[in-house]
Amino acid sequence: MKLGLIVNPIAGMGGSVGLKGTDGDAYRKALELGATPVSPVRIRQVLSLVKRRDINFLVAPGKMGEDYIRGTGFIYEVVGSIGEQTTADDTKKIAREMVDRGVDLLIFVGGDGTARDIADAVDLKIPVLAIPSGVKMFSSVFVVSPYAAARIMDSFTADMPLVEREVMDIDEEAFRQNKLAARLYSYLKVPGIEPLLQASKEASNTSKSEEAQKREIAEYIVENMEDGYVYLLGPGTTLKAIAGKIGVEKTLLGIDAVYNGKLVGKDLNEKGILELIDTYGRARIIVTPIGGNGFIFGRASKQFTPEVLRRVGKENTIVVGTKGKILKLKHLRVDTGDEEVDRMLSGPIKVVIGYNEELLMEVRA
């Protein structure tokens, strides 16, 4: 078993001194305030809990990995090089190299920022194991505890079921001012052992049938699609599965449009969407909420502006999502920036969660 290990040595330092994150200048401020590193403690704990010995580690140099594995008895090899101050580029560069060298699972320790760097480098090419040590963990990729991380490492096999989870981008500046500005950034694949994944700020799904669930949803949606409507497909992997079933390409984080089974718009902005509605007359939106917070509009897909939503209407809004994501949500949310549109979207809505399986939920503004 070949495992990669990358540690963001400064992630999590803001928390103890009341800062929210260590992006940019905040890191220096955290140090001045006497913050101590969290990541080294975390990874040492995980490594001490791992029982299996058939692991070949590829580790980042020095305080990004090597320092914590030395002396543990694990076989390892150092990948890449770093300077005194570690950077996001180090993470990306080393992660890419690990992918090239064929690691089966990439373990990283950090917060949302680290998850984004890893997502940039790795995408969905290989599974990752995300050990939380950051302050802001709105991404749903992280495991619940060092103990859970060790369990996954002990039981990891090449055919272990994987689920795609969301990586979020939080504007740290806004977050420090207690405003939450979260945006879907990307996806990572993680081992799908649900109770071991963080449930508090969660996201998309549970069991091994995650992919099968998406296919089931896609089948139901596509069977019920009507000619004469332009379908606007929002971001996310569930929508990707729907596009796959139709037989068209999907921009993972953007909005694409389909009319009578044909792709008629790619990665659309508001203007493009409005033009399509003008051209075809009737439109439907298909979206999936963000895991954990349940936002369907106003967070992940800003291109669905109040004007677009007004023209499409609630009756033509179709919400989909796998059970693992949906059943944990109390309700769905909207925050379009337009009170009237928020009100129009509020109230009961049916969410497609399987083939012939719709869940009656509430939308709240």
Q: Taking the complex as a whole, how short is the minimal distance between the CB of residue 71 and another protein, in angstroms?
A: 21
Residues at the contact surface with another protein, assessed by CB under 8 A = 49, 144-145, 147-148, 151, 193-197, 199, 206-207, 324, 326-330, 348, 350-351, 353-362
Q: Pairing between strand 295-297 and 357-364?
A: unpaired
Min dist. Cβ of residue 51 to another protein (A):
12
Phi/psi of residue 273, nearest 5 degrees: -65, -45
Q: Which residues are paired to 6 by β-bridges? A: 108
Instruction: Please say which residue, 267 or 357, places its beta carbon nearer to another protein.
Output: 357
Minimum CB distance to another protein smaller for 121 or for 319: 319
Minimum distance between the CB of residue 49 and another protein, rounded to whole angstroms?
A: 7
Are the beta carbons of 339 and 327 closer than 8 angstroms?
Answer: no
Beta carbon of residue 50, minimum distance to another protein (angstroms, whole number): 12
Q: Are 2 and 56 in contact (CB under 8 A)?
A: yes
Instruction: Considering the complex, state which of residue 49 and residue 160 has its C-beta at the smaller distance from another protein.
Output: 49
DSSP string, 50-103: ------EEEE-SGGGTHHHHTTS--EEEE-S---SS--HHHHHHHHHHHHHTT-
CA distance 238 to 222: 12
Q: Which CB, 192 or 298, lies closer to another protein?
A: 192
**Is there a contact between 105 and 129 (Cβ–Cβ < 8 Å)?**
yes
Minimum distance between the CB of residue 276 and another protein, rounded to whole angstroms?
29
Closest to another protein by CB, 101 vs 331, is: 331
